[in-house]
Amino acid sequence: MSRSLRSLNTPNKISISFFLLSIIIGTISALIMLGLLLSEADSGLNLPSVEKIKLKYHYPELVAAMKTTMYEYVADDADIEVVANWISNGSSEEVFEQSIKPIMRRDCTSCHNPTSTMSDAMPGMPLTTYAEVTKHTKAGYSWVKMAKQAHVHLFGIGTFLIIVTTIFAFTSFPSWIRSTLITITWTALLIDVLCWWITKYYLIFAYLIVGAGSAMSGGIIAMAGLALLDCWIVIPFLSKKTQAVATDSDA
């Protein structure tokens, strides 16, 4: 027989409360990190920039890196456009030797070469030859990288989301609230990951990544927060005042 969270014994409620608190703090931390990685800010909680998301999922990896994580190493902003144009015009080897190689040499290959031992050396990602550079000129994430990110993301978030949603399912809130939040959060997770793929081809879906990501994290925080409160207090107009069984008939 299922029971509401308030009817659990105190050690159980303490355990669940700390778990939910960890989930809330962890989710906020993840939002802070994403906001910083995908915006111009260097502190605080920020909304991700759609432009940065477009760069990450739609633009060629090389151009995206030159505009974001590697920007500080690019001596001249005009060089980013030179590289972008070279890629959009078919990445010819002739143009690479004439125009792209000197840019790579000036800004990239000190670290990105197989024999580099600089502090930030990236010998495993060389950019010294045409073949090496064109590995990073395809639009958005590669299929391999996308598949890797997607399965790690889905398995990881899915694992703790099933716990959070199950706990939330046992709260004393009306069934429609529980069902709606659980459905929105799971759906948002799937849409978020699906849009990574679609944005690779259709730029407009970058906005859906922001929306779905926000809905997912908002849903997680809302469910964890409400469940945490439901462990200890009666929320006016929402919580059932009795320790009745939480079933669909509660609605």
Does 110 interact with another protein (rule: CB under 8 A)? yes
**Site membership for another protein, residue 25 (CB under 8 A):** yes
Q: Which of 46, 106, 207, 215 binds another protein (CB under 8 A)?
A: 106
13 binds another protein (CB under 8 A): yes
Q: Which of 232, 235, 242, 247 binds another protein (CB under 8 A)?
A: 232
Alpha-carbon gap, residue 186 to 200, rounded angstroms: 22
φ/ψ of residue 8, rounded to 5? -70, 160
Please list, residue by residue across 86-103, b when 16 or more beta carbons sit within 10 angstroms of its beta carbon and e when fewer do: bbeeebeeebbeeebbeb
Question: Which of 27, 91, 109, 239 touches another protein (CB under 8 A)?
Answer: 109
Distance CA 144, CA 142 (A): 5
Give the range of 37-45, 81-89, 114-122, 192-200 binding another protein by CB under 8 A.
Answer: 114-122
Q: Quickly list H helices, 89-174.
A: 93-95, 101-107, 130-133, 143-169
> By CB under 8 A, is residue 128 in contact with another protein?
yes
Q: What is the 3-state secondary structure (H, E, C) of 81-95?
A: HHHHHHHHCCCCHHH
By CB under 8 A, is residue 18 in contact with another protein?
A: yes
Q: Which phi and psi angles does 57 have, rounded to 5°?
A: -105, -20
10 forms part of the interface with another protein (CB under 8 A): yes
68 sits near another protein (criterion: CB under 8 A)? no
Chain contacts with another protein (rule: CB under 8 A): 10, 13-14, 17-18, 21, 25, 72-76, 105-107, 109-110, 113-120, 128, 232
